[in-house]
């Protein structure tokens, strides 16, 4: 199946206890599609960058088979830029700079070549922009996956609720799930979010793994315990990318496939955090992926006979 | 195998958003051995209570086959009393009262009938008291399991380190593991704690589950996602009790058995939080245990084919 990803293609400048980078390639759509390319999924990006965005970064994406026809280049504009500094525990960070730039007036255009995508992954953007993408699709994709965040709950509640109502799978973190539902218990939160629209609710818990809720069933995975997290930037987007890509590969959207997709997403994300930015993700081989998935199996498999 | 548990037998007064209790039966050794009795393990307690401790509570324990010969009754003394109030999220609490009472001068005496216990579970107490128990055993038990907490790291570091050196399995929470090791990464923390003595390191993460480390291997389990936590008191001790009891039942201390034991401990703890104090744990049947373990299997089992 073909995967269409709408989201940021951006610059990040990252500082961690281990070092810092200048402006490097970042953005949700970048991480998501790079993850897809590891699984050799036919994917494409709808996004916008400025005249400052290097051709070499566009080439990097297209060389991996990612369809970049939908990346608009606003020559006189500047690319979205985020800069942040992680604390020593790498679990929290301060945002130093956010320059929205060309994303401010982003009017997504879906190239003809991506109109037949069966899976639409809407990366974290203004929910109004996300909605407009759905409206611009000639027909509704078979599966709509939504990523969002607390910022839009605070600033664009009504339109966010309309977007969520059209969503099949929502991915949010635990705090956001609580804010969205008004429930502290994640089980209760997921129930309320189901009622808002999505049949599948994925709650991301960072170093504590993730939960998948569907029709009263739950699946839980831990994160792979890592000796060192080098740079967490992009881990959540890589997770979403691995998840969506496994579904695209299988062409199935049932609970069991979603469970497996969660594992693939987590395995993929565990690579991203090993180096700065997209560096490690770009090097991942299918063989390494399989090994990492086996590590997850080792990590979670048990037999009990009482 | 026989299980000897040294720890508090106490009174708790608990307040949660759902209600409050007067002084009810509590204490680490209570929860641990009640969990053991569900699995029909031959267990005994070494502890101390005051003259205010009701015979009916002692009967409750002995009626379940728990050996209470090692519970000393100091007639003129008062039983350890803890009172606490949980916040709305049930994830944090304020301690309102701690009356150490007869535990202050606790000098554990091991009854002859428990000298042959193969597994010794040392509940959270002053590490000097824990050490003295080991010294009073005629021969070293085959397995020593230690529970401790940050309070002893702050107040009795040297003797705690001596105790840990004699320990096979240590159970602590994530923050305590970080404090004990000086490492933020739990993988690194576990490595350092291994070097202090224990071959097995269990890191408890509350609602996020637990990790088991052994010889470079890791096993991770989520906590069962619960719709409602009614009262978390005793969950950690119940977990330890289920864990130790499964080992006692199997008579094996290898990694695979420890993994299963972790599941049994978590399943058992998921009952405790459903009602106040020991109420729910006292009602658990072996059939319910098996069902809960199956829920864990459902929760964590996946198949991935890339």
- The CATH number for B48's domain is 3.40.1190.20
Q: Which two tokens stand for residue B40?
A: 């029909």
Task: Write phi, then psi, for B71 (nearest 5 degrees).
Answer: -90, 105
Mean pLDDT calculated for residue range A113-140: 97
Between B211, B259, B300, which is nearest A225 by CB? B211
- Beta bridge mates, B4: B44, B120
User: Hey, is A252 helix, strand or coil?
Assistant: coil
Residue A297: closest CA among chain B residues belongs to which residue? B302
Average pLDDT, chain B: 96
- Any domain includes B180: yes
Closest residue to B222, CB basis, from A209, A298, A301: A209
Q: Could you tell me which of A171, A170, A167, A163 has the C-alpha nearest to residue A269?
A: A171
Q: What digits encode the pLDDT tens for the residues B136-164?
A: 999 999 999 999 999 999 999 999 999 99
- Which chain B residue shows the shortest CA-CA distance from A298? B219
Task: Please give the DSSP secondary-structure letter assigned to residue A239.
Answer: H
Please tell me the total count of domains within chain A: 1
Q: How far is B306 from chain A (nearest CA, A)?
A: 8
Q: Report how far residue A170's alpha carbon sits from residue B44's, in angstroms, rounded to the nearest whole number.
A: 50
Nearest CA in chain A to B293: A304
DSSP letter for A103, please.
G
Residues of B numbered 180-239 whose beta carbons fall under 8 angstroms of chain A's beta carbons: which are they?
184-188, 205, 208-209, 211, 217-222, 225-229
Name the pTM for this structure. Answer: 0.92
Q: Is A285 exposed, middle or buried (0-12, 13-18, 19+ CB in 10 A)?
A: exposed
Tell me whether residues A188 and B260 touch, CB distance under 8 A: no
CA B11 – CA B17 distance, rounded (Å): 20
What pLDDT does residue A89 have?
80
Angstrom distances, CA of residue B240 to CA of B30, B64, B228, B232, B265 = 11, 18, 22, 14, 6
Q: What is the pLDDT of residue B227?
A: 87
Q: Is residue A27 part of a domain?
A: yes
* B115: in domain: yes
Tell me what pLDDT residue A166 has. 98
Residue A306 lies in a domain: no
User: In the structure, what pLDDT confidence band is assigned to residue A101 with cuts at 50, 70 and 90?
Assistant: very high
The yes-or-no verdict on residue A306 having pLDDT over 80 is no
User: If you average pLDDT over every residue of chain A, what do you get?
Assistant: 96
Residue A41 contacts B, CB cutoff 8 Å: no
Half-sphere exposure of A79 (CA within 13 A, CB side): 27
- CB within 8 Å: A222 and B221: yes
B256 touches chain A (CB under 8 A): yes
Q: For residue range B76-103, list pLDDT tens digits in order.
A: 999 999 999 999 888 889 999 999 999 9
Q: Which residues of A touch B16 (CB under 8 A)?
A: none
The CB-side HSE value for B94 (13 A sphere, CA atoms) comes to 6
The number of CA neighbours under 13 Å toward the Cβ of A133 is 34
Please tell me the predicted confidence (pLDDT) of residue A289.
94
Q: Which residues constitute the domain of residue A152?
A: 3-300
By C-alpha distance, which of B3, B56, B57 is closest to B27? B57
Indicate yes or no: CB of A286 within 8 angstroms of CB of B303: no
Whether the CB-CB separation of A218 and A188 falls below 8 Å is answered with: no
For A61-94, write each residue's pLDDT tens digit. Answer: 999 999 999 999 999 999 999 999 999 888 889 9
Q: Which residues pair with A143 in a beta bridge?
A: A119
- b/e sequence B7-42, b meaning 16+ C-beta within 10 Å: bbbbbbbbbbeeeebebbbbbbbbbbbbbbbbbebb
Q: State the pLDDT at residue B90.
A: 83
What pLDDT score does B200 carry?
Answer: 98
What's the rounded Cα separation, in Å, for the pair B179 and B164? Answer: 14
**For residue B242, what is the nearest residue in chain A, using CA coordinates?**
A306
Asked if B300 is an interface residue toward chain A (Cβ–Cβ < 8 A), one would say yes
Does residue A305 lie within any of the structural domains? no
Residues 6+ apart with CB under 8 A from B190: B177, B181, B201, B203, B211, B213, B218
For B129-157, letters b (16+ CB in 10 Å) and e give: bbbbbbeebeeebebbbbbbbeebbeebe
Helix H or strand E encompassing A172 = strand A169-173
Q: How many residue pairs bridge chain A and chain B with CB atoms within 8 Å of each other?
A: 117
pLDDT at A203: 97
Whole-angstrom Cα distance, residue A211 to residue A204?
7
In a domain, B306, yes or no: no
Q: Which of A185, A289, A300 is opposite residue B227, by nearest beta carbon?
A: A185
CA distance, residue A71 to nearest chain B CA (Å): 29
Mean pLDDT (whole number) for A269-277: 95
In tens digits, what is the pLDDT along chain B, a chain of 306 residues? 999 999 999 999 999 999 999 999 999 999 999 999 999 999 999 999 999 999 999 999 999 999 999 999 999 999 999 999 999 888 889 999 999 999 999 999 999 999 999 999 999 999 999 999 999 999 999 999 999 999 999 999 999 999 999 999 999 999 999 999 999 999 999 999 999 999 999 999 988 999 999 999 999 999 899 888 899 999 999 999 999 999 999 999 999 999 999 999 999 999 999 999 999 999 999 899 999 999 999 999 998 887
């Amino acid at each position: 199946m073909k995967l269409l990803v709408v989201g940021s293609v951006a610059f990040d400048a990252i500082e961690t206890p281990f070092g810092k980078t200048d402006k490097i390639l970042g953005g949700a759509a970048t991480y998501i599609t790079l993850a897809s390319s590891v699984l050799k999924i036919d994917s494409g990006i709808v996004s916008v960058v400025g005249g400052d965005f290097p051709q070499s970064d566009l080439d990097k994406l297209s060389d991996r088979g990612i369809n970049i026809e939908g990346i608009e280049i606003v020559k006189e504009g500047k690319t979205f830029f985020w800069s942040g500094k992680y604390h020593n525990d790498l679990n929290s960070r301060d945002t130093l700079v956010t320059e929205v730039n060309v994303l401010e007036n982003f009017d997504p255009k879906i190239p003809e070549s991506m109109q037949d995508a069966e899976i639409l992954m809407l990366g974290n953007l203004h929910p109004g922009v996300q909605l407009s993408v759905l409206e611009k699709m000639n027909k509704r994709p078979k599966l709509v996956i939504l990523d969002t965040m607390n910022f839009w709950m605070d600033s664009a509640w009504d339109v966010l609720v309309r977007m969520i109502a059209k969503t099949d799978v929502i991915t949010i973190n635990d705090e956001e799930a609580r804010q969205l539902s008004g429930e502290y218990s994640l089980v209760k939160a997921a129930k309320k979010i189901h009622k808002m629209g999505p049949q599948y609710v994925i709650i991301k818990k960072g170093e504590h793994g993730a939960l998948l809720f569907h029709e009263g069933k739950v699946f839980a995975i831990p994160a792979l315990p890592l000796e060192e997290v080098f740079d967490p930037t992009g881990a959540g987007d890589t997770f979403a990318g691995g998840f969506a890509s496994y579904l695209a590969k299988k062409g199935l959207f049932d609970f069991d496939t979603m469970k497996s997709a969660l594992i693939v997403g987590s395995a993929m994300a565990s690579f991203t955090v090993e180096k700065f930015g997209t560096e490690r993700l770009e090097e991942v081989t299918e063989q390494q992926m399989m090994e990492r998935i086996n590590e997850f199996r080792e990590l979670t498999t048990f037999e009990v006979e009482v």
